[in-house]
Amino acid sequence: MAANLGLRGKSVLALLVACLLALIPASLIGWKAVDEVRRHFATAYAEQYTLLQMQRITAPVSRELALSRRFANSVVTREWLRQPEDPERRERFFAEAEGFRQQFGSNAYFIIDHATHDYYFADQRDAEPSPRYRLDAGESQDAWYFAAMASTSTYNIDVSHDRKLDRSMLWVNVKVRDNGELLGLAGGALDLENYLSRVIRTGAPGLTSMIVDPRGILQAHPDQSRLALGSNSHPFEADSQQHIQSLVDNAQQREALRQAMQAVVRRPGDIRGLEVEIDGEHRLLSVGYVPELQWLLVTTLDMQAAPLFEGRWFWPLLGALLLTLAILTGAFAYAAHRLILSPLKRLTLSAQAITHGDYSLPLPAERHDEIGELSQAFSHMARQVEDHTRNLASQVRERTHELETAHTAMAVAHKQLGDSIQYASIIQRAILPDAQLRQHLGADHAILWKPRDTVGGDFYVFRATPSGYLIGVIDCAGHGVPGALMTMLARAIIDNAIAHEGADDPAAILNEIDHQSRQLLPEAQLPSSIATNMDIGLAWVEPNAGRLTYAGAKLDLYASDGHHVDCIKGSKRALGHRRPIRYSNRHVPIHPGWSYYLCSDGFLDQAGGEHGFGFGNRRFERLLTTLAAEALDDQIKAFGSALDDYRGDHPQRDDITLLIFCVTSAGDEPPSSPLSPSQT
C-alpha cells in the first residue's frame, strides 16, 4: 500500500512537472501575443492622439482665419483705407475693429495702410487706435510685409516675433482689396506662448507632445531650454540640442526619424510611427504635419507609463492562461476601444465635420477625465465657431456652389487634357528609333532622353544602310505640346529629306530640311512670337571605311577617349534662321574605343549650383574626360546623376537629350590623330 502511495505520488509529481513544463512555452506564447496586442493598441492610441493634437493646432487657426477674412473684407475697413484721414470713417472703422478684437482668439488685431505703410496694432494691453510704427522696405525685419503683398496668395499665416511690439504671435495676414486694388493687410493674432502651451500641455500619462519645423528645430517642448528662439529669423543659430534628432540616441533611428518627417511633409494628413530610444528608454514616436503652419507635431508614448495595458492580473491566473488570455485580450481590446480609441475617433470625426460646417455630431463631454475635458473645450470652441460662421453661411454656400461648378468643369477639362497629353506621349515615343538602335548598335549606344513635360521638342533619328548608318539629335523650338507637334512635323520632313538626298550626306539632308521647312512654315505667314527653328546634329558613320561625316546646325559633336576631348563644330545658325545659309560636311577618321556625344542645349543650359548658372560646356567636357572610358550605359547613368546633383532644387528648364555611340570596328590602319576634320 505504501508502495502504491509512493507510485501515485511520483505520478502526480510527474504530471505536475509535465504541466509546468507545458505551461512554460504556453506562457511565453501567451505573453508574446499579449505584448503584440499591447503594441498594436499603443500604436493606434499614439496615432489617434497625434491626429487629435493636430486638430487642436489647426482649429484655432481656422477660426482666426475666418474672422480675419471678415475683418479684411468689411466695407467699413475698405472705406477707411480709401480715406484714412476722414474722421467719420476713422471713427466707424475703429469702432468695428474693437468688436472684431474682442472676438479674435488673443483679443488682438492689426491693420497696415498700404499707401502710407503705417502699422496699427491693438490688444488687451493697449487698444489705442494709432499707428505703432511705419514699415520700411529697406529694413530686413519689414521684408515680410512687402513679400506678402507681392505674392499672389490672398492670405498667409506667419509665426514670428515683432521686435518693435515685443510680441511673439501667430499672425493671420489677409490682403484687403477693393475692385482688385490692394489697400492693405489686416488680420488677427494668437499669442504664441499660450497657443503652443495648450498643444504641448497634456495630462495623458506617458505622452509628450513637441512641435518642430521641417528642419527639425524644436518650436515647442516641455523643456524650454531645448527651444530655438528666433530660429525662423536666424535658422543657423540653433545648436544641436535644439533639434529633434538630438533626443534620439541611435544614429540609425535618427535617420528613420528624418525620413518619417520628410514623408509626412510630402503627404499631409498621414501619420508615421516608429520605435526609438530616448534617453536610454524605449518610446513609440508618431509624426504628423500641419501644412497651414508648416509645423510637424511629434508625439512620444511611454508604453510603460501610459494606461494601455495592466498585466498584474495576468500572473495570479497563470494556471488558466490559455483560456483567460483570450478573454482578457478581448476585454482589453473592448475597453481600449470604448474608453480611448472610440472617444478619440469621435473627436476626430467631429473635428473633420466642423471643418466642413457640420456641428451636429455629439461629443463625449459627459466623461470626467482628460478626454472629457478636452471634449468640453472642443465643444465650446465649436459653438463659438458655429455662431460666427452662421452669419456667413448663405454667402459661403453661394460662393462654394460657384467654386464647385468651376472645379468640376476644370477637373473634366484637366482629365481630358491629361489623357490627350498621355496619348500624345505614346505617339511621340513611337517615332523614336529605339528598336533600330538596339538591333544595329546594341551596347554601342546609350540615350538620355528627358522631356521637360510629358511630351517635348527633342527627338533622335537613326537610319542604317549596308555601308553605314546615319545617327542624329534634333531639338525643335519650344517644349511641351507645341514642341511635340514640331517633332512630328520635323520627323516627316527629315524622312522626306533622307529619301530625297540619301543617308550618307548629312549636309545635303540639312539643306533639304531647311528648304522644306521654309516652304511648309513660311516666315511671312507666322506671328513674330512663334519660333520654328531647329537645332540638328547628323553624323554619317562608315565603320568599315573608318570615317565619320558630320554636319550640324547649332549642335556640335564631341569625342573623347578618357584623356582628350575633341569637338567637331556645327554651323552657328539653326535651321529656319531668318538668314539662310548652306550647311557643309566635316569628315573625320574614326578612332576605335572613343565615345561620340550629341547633346541638345537643354543639358548644357540647365540651371543649377549655388548661383543658378547653366551646366556649361566646360563642366560637360570634364565629365567626358572622366567617363569616356566606361561602358556607355554606365556613362548615361553618371551623366544623369551629375545633372540631377547640379540641378538640385532648380526646375528642369528645357527638354534634355544626350546620345552616346561608339564604333567597335574601323579601318585597317587607324590614324594617329582621331579627329582631323576636313570640310567639304
- Summary mean pLDDT of the chain: 80
Instruction: Please give the full DSSP string across 194-218, using - where no structure is assigned.
Output: HHHHHHH---STTEEEEEE-TT-BE
The one-letter amino acid at 582: R
Task: Dig out the grid coordinates for 260 from the structure.
Answer: 518619417
pLDDT above 70: percentage of residues in the chain: 76
**Most confident of the ranges 246-250, 429-433, 640-644:** 640-644
Between 372 and 97, residue with greater pLDDT:
97
Q: Cα–Cα distance between 223 and 206 in angstroms, integer?
A: 16
Residue with cell 505614346: 426
The one-letter amino acid at 40: H
**Most confident of the ranges 128-142, 147-161, 379-393, 578-592:** 578-592
Closest residue by Cα to residue 381 from 56, 159, 65: 56
pLDDT of residue 182: 92
pLDDT tens across 240-295, in order? 667 888 888 788 888 888 888 889 888 888 888 888 888 778 888 889 888 877 78
**Most confident of the ranges 85-99, 287-301, 342-356, 412-426:** 85-99
Closest residue by Cα to residue 551 from 586, 575, 499, 576: 586
Give the Å distances, CA to CA, from 112 to 30, 120, 145.
Answer: 67, 6, 9
Q: Rounded mean pLDDT of 231-247?
A: 60
Among the listed ranges 98-102, 352-356, 544-548, which one has the minimum average pLDDT value? Answer: 352-356
Q: Rounded mean pLDDT of 602-615?
A: 90
Asked whether residue 678 carries a pLDDT value surpassing 50, the answer given is no
pLDDT tens across 121-166, in order? 988 887 777 788 899 888 888 888 998 898 888 888 877 788 888 8
Phi, psi angle pair for 308, to nearest 5°: -95, -30
Asked whether residue 337 carries a pLDDT value surpassing 80, the answer given is no
Q: Cα–Cα distance between 474 and 489 in angstroms, integer?
A: 12
Residues 6+ apart with CB under 8 A from 234: none
